[in-house]
Amino acid sequence: MSDETRNEQQRDEQQRSEERKQHEPKRGEALRKAWGLMGETARGVVSRIRWLVYAPRGRRVMGGFIVTGVVAGVVAAQPVCTIEPGEVGVRVNRLTGSVSELPEGWSLLVPHVHRLSRYSLKDQTFRPERSARATGPAPFQSMEGLSIGIEVNIRYVLDPGKIGALSARLPENVGEDIVEPLIDGVLRRHFAQHSVREIFSTHRVRIQKDLTEELAPLLAADGVLLRSVTLGNVDLPAQYRAGMETLLAEELNTEKMRYTLELKDKQVKQSALEAEADKVRREKAAEAAGSEEIIAAKAKAEAMRHILPFKEKEIEQRRLEAEAAKVSRLTLATAEADAHRIQAAGEADARRKIAESDAYRLEITGKASSEQLARDAELISRNPLLIQKTLADKLSDKIQVIIAPPQSGGFIAGNLLGPAGSAPSAALATTGAPGGEE
């Protein structure tokens, strides 16, 4: 400590002791004055009280005071309370310790005897705002020890049936004093059992379900009914979030690929099914076409069957016609043969007759010839030159024979006939056309 500072302290103490020495005689005088004033005041008060009691005006004033005081007391103590809709009141008698539930509306409340607690029966929500951000005052911790912010929304309501029993031991602000710490503890424990990734993406629903299952009986023991637990936005540390998003994007890609493959697989299956349907359709169409062809063929065969008897009849008719033709031809041939035979017989007869007639003719002719010969002989014997003429006739009708008179005294057939000196010479000449005879 420096010397200057020490000097300043000493100076301050001296100053204070001087001031104390100056004030001591003034204090005694003031006490006396105060005592005098107090005596006057006491006397004044007594006189006023006497005035209030004995004077009529004083009594009116006192009555006024009393009424004012009573009204002020009632206003200050509030012996009637109002229970709003959606609330329940619990009135505890401090003297007897009895508890009664107050319905909606007005109820009497004796000051200093009754104590009233109000509980809301409406749904209440608890959102731990302090843990909503990773950078907030009280973030949750994940299994890896990372701070994460999670928006949790828990909806609960007080069990109206248990309020009477629980009001004795529960604080008035159940939400703040009981429910919220309890939920907070459970949330922290649960989140600490899961990794960030699980909380962020994969196990969210499961966590939500586990929380509900654990919180519901815990809160029910305190007369609180849990309506729902909802997990909202998960706030990650910025760097972790970037990495996580990349990872998730990768996963998403993988997932996408899986779905793409599934889609392709389904497309393949669809194509196969369509091809199958097409095949069946074509088979059906082919079957229908086949059956149509079969029906057409059957109809044609049936028509053919109807034609066949006619064809057969036609063939039979042709056969009959052929037979008839054959018979007619045979008859014709027979008739012709017969005709020929008859003709031949006729001819034979005719020839025989002719032969016979010829023979007869020959005979007659012979007879006639012999008679002729006899006559000729007789004639020749009478006319010898007739032989030459006959000979010339027989030589030919186309040869002109000139029988000249024998120049050397002889007949041309003299050699045959020998000398015929006695034969008369004759001159015969044949001239002219055939048949012509001279």
Residue 300 sits in the site that holds another protein (CB under 8 A) = yes
Burial classification of residue 128, based on how many CB atoms lie within 10 Å of its CB (0-12 exposed, 13-18 middle, 19 or more buried): buried
Residue type, 57: R
Q: Contact with another protein (CB under 8 A): which of 16, 112, 306, 394?
A: 306
Shortest gap between Cβ of 292 and another protein (angstroms)? 4
Shortest gap between Cβ of 332 and another protein (angstroms)? 30
Q: Look up residue 170 and give its two tokens.
A: 């529960």
**Contact by Cβ (8 Å): 229, 206:** no
Residue 302 sits in the site that holds another protein (CB under 8 A) = yes
307/350 with CB nearer another protein: 307
Gap between the Cα atoms of 48 and 58, Å rounded: 8
Shortest gap between Cβ of 281 and another protein (angstroms)? 14
130/318 with CB nearer another protein: 318
Q: Look up residue 385 and give its two tokens.
A: 């030159």
Binding mask 237-276 for another protein (x = CB under 8 A): ----------------------------------------
Which residue carries 């849990």 as its tokens?
A: 226
H or E element: which one contains 248? helix 238-382
176/302 with CB nearer another protein: 302
Residue 320 sits in the site that holds another protein (CB under 8 A) = no
Residue 303 sits in the site that holds another protein (CB under 8 A) = yes
Shortest gap between Cβ of 327 and another protein (angstroms)? 24
**Alpha-carbon distances of 170 from 117, 160, 173, 216, rounded to whole Å:** 10, 14, 8, 18
Burial classification of residue 201, based on how many CB atoms lie within 10 Å of its CB (0-12 exposed, 13-18 middle, 19 or more buried): middle
125/291 with CB nearer another protein: 291
Shortest gap between Cβ of 320 and another protein (angstroms)? 15
Looking at 187-195, 310-318, 320-328, 400-408, which segment touches another protein (CB under 8 A)?
310-318
Residue 329 sits in the site that holds another protein (CB under 8 A) = no
Count the residues of the shown chain that bind another protein, applying the rule CB under 8 A: 21
DSSP state of 132: S
Gap between the Cα atoms of 75 and 283, Å rounded: 100
153/291 with CB nearer another protein: 291
272/307 with CB nearer another protein: 307
Residue 114 has φ and ψ, to the nearest 5°, of -100, 145
387-394: long-range contacts, CB 8 A cutoff, minimum separation 24:
387/417, 388/412, 388/413, 388/426, 388/428, 389/428, 392/428, 392/430, 393/437
247/294 with CB nearer another protein: 294
Q: Look up residue 365 and give its two tokens.
A: 């002719």
Gap between the Cα atoms of 108 and 114, Å rounded: 9
Q: Contact with another protein (CB under 8 A): which of 42, 108, 165, 307?
A: 307
Q: Contact with another protein (CB under 8 A): which of 298, 318, 319, 351?
A: 298
129/292 with CB nearer another protein: 292
Q: What share of the chain is helix, strand, coil (3-state, %, to 5)?
A: 65, 15, 20
Shortest gap between Cβ of 283 and another protein (angstroms)? 14
Gap between the Cα atoms of 207 and 75, Å rounded: 53
Pick out residues in 278-297 that bind another protein (CB under 8 A): 285, 288-289, 291-296
Looking at 166-174, 234-242, 305-313, 335-343, which segment touches another protein (CB under 8 A)?
305-313
Task: Tell me which residues touch another protein (CB under 8 A).
Answer: 285, 288-289, 291-296, 298-300, 302-304, 306-307, 310-311, 313-314
